[in-house]
A and B are shown apart, each in its own frame.
Chain A
Amino acid sequence: MMNKTKYFERGKASLKALLFLPLAFGAHAERLPSQPQISTEGEGSGFSLTACTRCHGVGGDGNTAEGIPRLRGLPFTYLKEQLQAFASGERQNPIMNSIARTLSADDITHAASFYTQLPPLFQPLGTKDESTNELAVHGRWSENIPPCDDCHGPEGKGVGENFPALNGQSARYLENQLQAFKKGSRPSGPLNLMGNIAKKLSDADIQTLSRYYSGSSPRDTGGQP
């Protein structure tokens, strides 16, 4: 119950921030990042996004081999909540914990609004073998696991402010997160939805799903639609 109300309060706070966002950008509209590099400078706070681009890339693409997530186009509320959870230590990751602790509330808002406005980049997820996306599109209702796509959207492209896209992340990153939810080293998210589901997944499920959403399952190339 505590957890629930907390998430809703957070949601409201970030909604307000979202309302002010256009204003904040409007004030220096001529500097809106048509090229991302332009806005990697913090606005006078001494904070610079180069602290992030070093690992997440200037375009927010992340790094597949290192398991560094793609941030471009993720929802503002979601990004902000994750940075807050890294800062408080609820979401455990040594690298991001030490980085997020140095960020002010304004820095977090600035970083989240920068990455959210970069256009997302999705890849085709076709699969040759129906069993590799079984959980993603059909779920396993006997254990009350709905299809992942029911919450993360068709092909995992994300829904609204609270359901991040899975499409576009690397298999390594996805696998790390599902294991983290399962172990409890990452908070289980709004209504405990994600933690509750991850605890029902086997290691084999996690591997298959991570490969599927990263677009690295063997794909059907037979020319069939």
Chain B
Amino acid sequence: MKYLMTLALLVTSLATLGNGLPADVPPEEWPSVLPADHDIPKDEFGKMVRQGQLIFSDTGQFARAYVGNDLSCRNCHLDQGRKAGSAPLWAAFLSYPAYRAKNHRVNTFEERLQDCFRYSMNGKAPPLGDPVLVALESYAYWMEKNAKINPRLTERGFPKLQKPSTPPSYERGKIVYANNCELCHGSNGQGRIANGGHLVFPPLWGNRSFNWGAGMAHLDKAAAYIKTNMPLSLGGSLSNQDAWDVAYFMEGHDRPQDPRYTGSVDETRALFHHTQNSLYGHLVAGHVLGNGPVSK
């Protein structure tokens, strides 16, 4: 049903859509068109949508009770959750309820949002029905409902990145980092604060970043995100190898503990990090990861 509606929307919008796009882009690659902020209705529902957008953009300020680091949702889901290639919020909304291997059961969208707070935001999950979740869900629903979606494109999640030809290396990653990332994210991955005190470049590791349970703590997801979106405004410019190497360097530093920690790094690794894509519990650059950030 949803599919039919979006198809109808798409057909009616093709004319307008086509105008703004270069002629050499075939229709199956036309990106979905998303509503603008000024389309948010000026009623009670619209107020909730705006609130969701505020939470998404400045999570520490508008959902403080549930946040334990310096990140905001928008730092990873770019263009306030719109941008394809950074797991857009509207495409996620369309994809739940869904089975997740992470907890071996079918999750609702609200439950999926709870996990973002536990892991990516290193905080605690707002209870189901909490105004924070209602606002985020309203924002996602509004975006999806008013989008002109190209059903021939799959814009959900992060694009898969081919495995590198050489296994990723910390030493090479360190060089990629110094040349392409340090300018903004700082020499110790700590990020940077603007004049006036607002965090602009988010921390990539250490106490104020996402924890070991987060999706971004997986090499494959981090490499795909970095390849598509970083350095900011130059997405796509790194080679696949550079993206994997710098992801390895980033994940080769410690960060807040996995909230599912059992009391033993080895056991936590065996239970939750039994994959090549997690460096949790590995010895990297002289430090066994998962024992807490070390200050250098």
Report A's interface with B, CB cutoff 8 A: 4-5, 8, 11, 73, 120, 130, 138-139, 141-142, 144-146, 149-151, 153-155, 157-160, 162, 165, 190-193, 196-197
Q: Give the Cβ gap from B143 to chain A, nearest Cβ, in Å.
A: 14
Which partner residue on chain B sits nearest A158 by CB separation?
Answer: B195
Residues of B in contact, count (CB < 8 Å): 26
Partner of B180, one of A141, A149, A165, A191: A191
- When distances are taken between beta carbons in the complex, the residues of chain A under 8 Å from B79 are 138-139, 141
26 residue pairs bridging A and B, Cβ less than 8 Å apart: A4-B179, A11-B183, A120-B195, A138-B80, A141-B78, A144-B234, A146-B78, A150-B200, A153-B194, A153-B196, A154-B196, A155-B196, A159-B192, A159-B193, A159-B194, A159-B195, A159-B200, A159-B201, A160-B192, A162-B183, A165-B195, A190-B183, A192-B234, A193-B231, A193-B232, A196-B233
Interface centre among A11, A149, A150 (most CB of B within 10 A): A150
The answer to whether the Cβ of B227 comes within 8 Å of any Cβ in the partner chain is no
Q: Are A142 and B31 in contact (CB under 8 A)?
A: yes
Of all chain B residues, the one with the shortest Cβ separation from A162 is B183
With a cutoff of 8 Å between Cβ atoms, the chain A residues found around residue B235 in the complex are 144
For the complex formed, measure the closest distance between the CB of B194 and the CB atoms of chain A, giving whole angstroms.
3
Contact (Cβ within 8 A) A141 B183: no
Interface of B, helix, strand, loop or mixed by DSSP:
mixed
Closest partner residue, chain B, to A165 (CB atom): B195
> Is B194 touching A157 in the complex (CB atoms < 8 A)?
yes
Q: Report A119 CB to chain B, min CB distance, Å.
A: 11
Does B100 interact with chain A (Cβ within 8 Å)? no
A-side contacts of B296, CB under 8 Å: none
Evaluate whether A153 and B233 lie within 8 angstroms (CB atoms) in the complex, with A4-B179, A141-B78 already known: no
Measured CA separation A106–B113 after assembly (Å): 56
| CA gap between A193 and B201 in the complex, in Å | 15
Please report the C-alpha to C-alpha distance between residue A130 and residue B50 in the assembled complex, in whole angstroms. Answer: 15
B176 to chain A, nearest CB (A): 11
Complex partner residue of B194 from A4, A139, A146, A158, CB under 8 angstroms: A158
* Chain A min CB distance to B180 (Å): 7
Mark B175-196 against chain A: 1 for CB-CB distance below 8 A, else 0.
Answer: 0001110011000000011111
A130, A155, A160: the one within 8 Å of B38 (CB): A130
A173 to B: closest C-beta gap in Å: 19
B233 and A197 form a contact (CB under 8 A): yes
The 0/1 profile, CB within 8 Å of A marked 1, for residues 231-245 of chain B is: 111110000000000
- Kindly list chain A residues whose C-beta atoms are within 8 Å of the C-beta of B183: 11, 162, 190-191
* A-B interface, 3 closest residue pairs, ranked by CB to CB distance from nearest: A153-B194, A141-B79, A157-B195
Give CA–CA (A88, B231) in the complex, Å: 28
**B179 and A8 contact, CB distance less than 8 A:** yes
Task: Please measure, in the bound complex, the distance between the C-alpha atom of A190 and the C-alpha atom of B181, giving whole angstroms.
Answer: 11
The answer to whether the Cβ of B83 comes within 8 Å of any Cβ in the partner chain is yes
Q: Give the CA-CA distance A11 to B196 in the complex, in Å.
A: 23
**What residues on B are CB-neighbors of A159 within 8 Å?**
192-195, 200-201
Residue from B31, B38, B233 within 8 A of A145 (CB atoms): B233
Contact B192 A8 (CB under 8 A): no
Counting chain B CB atoms within 10 Å of each CB, which of A141, A150, A196, A197 scores highest? A141
Known: A146-B232, A191-B231. A141 touches B192 (CB 8 A): no
Known: A141-B78, A141-B79, A141-B82. Is A150-B194 also a contact (CB below 8 A)? Answer: no
Q: Which residue of A lies closest to B83 (CB)?
A: A141
* Most-contacted residue by chain B among A8, A191, A197 (CB, 10 A): A191
A154 to B194, CA, bound (A): 7
Q: Is B43 interfacial (CB 8 A cutoff)?
A: no
**A73 CA / B194 CA spacing, docked (Å):** 13
- CA A141 to CA B85, docked complex, whole Å: 11
Contact B179 A5 (CB under 8 A): yes
Instruction: Assess A151 versus B196: contact at CB under 8 Å? Given A130-B38, A141-B82.
Output: no
Given contacts A8-B178, A142-B31, contact A153 B37 (CB under 8 A): no
